[in-house]
Amino acid sequence: MSVAEAMIASGMAAAEAATGTVHAAAAGAEGGGHHSAIPELPNLLDYLFAHFYKGAHFKGPETILFELKPSKLWEFTLGDASNIFFSFVIIAVLIFVFWRLSRKLKRIPTGFQALVEIFVGAISGFITGIIGDEEGKPFVPFVGTIFLFILCLNLSGLIPFYKSPIALNINMPLSLALCVFVFVQYHGLRQNGLKGYIMHFRGEVSGILPVDIILIPLNFILHIIGEIVKPISLTLRLFGNITGEDVVIAVLATLLVGGAFFTAWIPIQALFYPLALMFSAMQALVFTGLSSAYILLMSKHEEHGEH
Amino acid sequence: MAFDPSMLGIALPLGVGIAAAGSGVGIGNAVGKAMEAMGRQPDAAGKIQVGMIIGCAMIEALTIYALLVVFILMGKLA
């Protein structure tokens, strides 16, 4: 089957059912039937295993894009852990880059160190702008690392043959949000003490007893629900945005342009890349901004006498 | 009438459309007010811009929740 015939056949299939050919690729490429309806581009690990394990009859590039069928062994062992593999690759790259950088730090920065210092200064300024100048400094490492990590995870969805560990995988943003949640509660406990932490849920107290009997339990329940919703909203926002981005890229990449006598493929998804860059950075910024806002809410307020 | 999965064919896009309309109104409002504030005091433009971006992302998240429901129910469209 020549490349042109394969493309025309897939183009016609794509014209009938919106993501027909990508179903075959996506349902095969990702382990688990729950992904079958969501279009997704195959990534590097899918290619490797389909090629080596199942012995897919490799007829040319169109085989990879349109006829991928990975083996059961791949689906069971590494299929769902491909997210972990990709995130470990990102972590290894980050650690290596910054370790090399920190070997020879200069007092007057030049070159790459100056660039990194600009970013660190900007992130540190952003976080201390929310939490406060001297109270915010201890939190900059944790929250800044979360910003950098989420930024790299989001942007990795744009790399060819790579899959962002956040896209179509709710475990990754959920674990990041849980890290932030646990840290915020721990910070609240450590700063206010156990009694102060529980009193924190109470809200403002008016001195009138009958009103208090009703008001305090209600406030308590509302505040607890508020605390539980925070990691849920962080998770869903990050997951939804990055999944949407990657799905749009996958759908655009498999669209074919055609007419009566020809069918061609042009990389339309490249037009979406600038928007994806902006949205990735924005989501990382919003995640860290909200985390530092939650930390601020748990810290001591000096303006009210007793919260 | 019993639940016919093809009812999702009109319900899901309609849901996302309504959510998008709501967030369009919200974000338009927020950005408009931010532009106004930046015009009044150009010195504070940086802070206003950061706050606007964060507010827009939060409003956008509500539309993303609707899109997530579409993703979850997309398999039932058969």
- pLDDT tens by residue, chain A, 307 residues: 344 444 444 444 333 333 333 333 333 333 333 344 566 677 776 666 666 655 555 554 444 544 555 555 555 555 567 788 889 999 999 999 989 888 887 778 788 888 889 999 999 999 998 888 888 899 999 999 999 999 999 999 898 888 888 987 888 899 999 999 999 999 988 888 888 777 777 666 666 777 777 778 888 888 888 888 889 989 999 998 998 898 888 888 888 888 888 888 888 888 999 999 999 999 999 999 999 988 988 887 654 444 4
Contact A240 B57 (CB under 8 A): no
The candidate with the shortest Cα–Cα distance to A150, out of A48, A265, A291, is A291
Residue B5 counted as domain residue: no
Residue B52 counted as domain residue: yes
Q: What is the pLDDT of residue A156?
A: 92
| Cβ–Cβ contact B44 with A under 8 A | no
Judge whether A51 and A58 are in contact, CB under 8 Å: yes
Q: What is the pLDDT of residue A36?
A: 46
Contact B64 A240 (CB under 8 A): yes
Contact residues, chain B, for A34 at CB < 8 Å: 75
Q: What is the pLDDT of residue A39?
A: 67
The DSSP 8-state label assigned to residue B43 in this structure reads: G
Residue B48 counted as domain residue: yes
Contact residues, chain B, for A282 at CB < 8 Å: 53, 57
Residue B78 counted as domain residue: no
CA dihedral B37, B38, B44, B49 (to 10 degrees): 100
Residue B20 counted as domain residue: no
Residue B1 counted as domain residue: no
- Residues A137-183 have pLDDT tens digits of 999 999 999 999 999 999 998 988 888 889 878 888 999 999 999 99
- The list of chain B residues with pLDDT below 70 reads 1, 78
Chain B residue with the nearest C-alpha to that of A235: B61
Contact residues, chain A, for B74 at CB < 8 Å: 37-38
Q: What is the pLDDT of residue A71?
A: 57
Mutate to test the interface with B, among A282, A287, A296 (most CBs of B within 10 A): A282
- DSSP letters spanning chain A: --HHHHHHHHHHHHHHSTTHHHHHHHHHHSSSGGGTTS-----HHHHHHHHHTS-----SHHHHHH-----HHHIIIIITTHHHHHHHHHHHHHHHHHHHHHHS--SS--THHHHHHHHHHHHHHHHHHHH-HHHHGGGHHHHHHHHHHHHHHHHGGGSTT---TTTT-THHHHHHHHHHHHHHHHHHHHHHHHHHHHHHTT----S-HHHHHHHHHHHHHHHHHHHHHHHHHHHHHHHHHHHHHHHHHHHHHT--EE-SS-EE---GGGGTHHHHHHHHHHHHHHHHHHHHHHHHHHSPPSSSS--
Q: What is the pLDDT of residue A68?
A: 53
Contact B77 A37 (CB under 8 A): yes
Contact residues, chain A, for B9 at CB < 8 Å: none
Query: Who among A233, A244, A289 is closest to B67 (CB)?
Result: A244
Q: What is the pLDDT of residue A4?
A: 42
Contact residues, chain B, for A247 at CB < 8 Å: 71
Q: What range does the domain containing B42 cover?
A: 25-73
Domains contained in chain B, number: 1
| Cβ–Cβ contact B64 with A under 8 A | yes
CA A205 to CA A191: how far, in whole Å?
21
Q: Residue B42: give its domain's CATH number.
A: 1.20.20.10
Chain A residue with the nearest C-alpha to that of B53: A282
Whole-structure pTM value? 0.76
Give the start-to-end residue ranges of the domains of chain A: 132-298
Predicted-assembly ipTM surpassing the 0.85 threshold: no
Residue A304 neighbours by CB distance under 10 Å: 8
In chain B the first and final C-alpha atoms are separated, in Å, by 19
Q: What is the pLDDT of residue B52?
A: 87
